[in-house]
Amino acid sequence: MDDDTPEPGELRLPLALYRDNATGEMVIPAAEVSGLLRTSARQWLTWEREDQAELDPQTVALLGGALADLADQIDVACIAAAS
C-alpha cells in the first residue's frame, strides 16, 4: 500500500482550514465541521455493514446518531446566527 491509502478502519477526509486575518487563529467553517461529522457517521455505518467495525452494531448506530445530531445542532445554530 502507498502512503496515501487509508488503512482499514481509517477515515481520511479533506478539511478546509483558514487563518483568521484579525487574530491569526486557524478556523474551520461550520459547514465543513457538520459535513465531517455526517461523513464520519456514514463511514462507521458502512464499516459496520461490511463487518469491518470492531464495535457492535448498536454502539455504531448510537455513535453515528450522536454525530448526526451534533451536525444538526451546528447547522441550526449557524442558521439562527445568520438570521
- Within a domain: residue 6? no
Residue 52 resides in a domain? yes
CA distance 66 to 75: 14
Number of compact structural domains in the chain: 1
Domain annotation covers residue 62:
yes
In a domain, 22, yes or no: no
Residue 61 lies in a domain: yes
Q: In this predicted structure, what is the pLDDT of residue 1?
A: 46
Instruction: Indicate whether 68 belongs to any domain.
Output: yes
Q: Quote the pLDDT of residue 2.
A: 53
The whole-number pLDDT of residue 5 equals 65
**How far are the Cα atoms of 6, 32, 48 from residue 20, in angstroms, in the given order?**
31, 16, 38
Number of CB atoms found within 10 A of residue 64's CB: 19
What domain range includes position 54? 30-82
Task: Spell out, as residue ranges, where the chain has pLDDT lower than 50.
Answer: 1
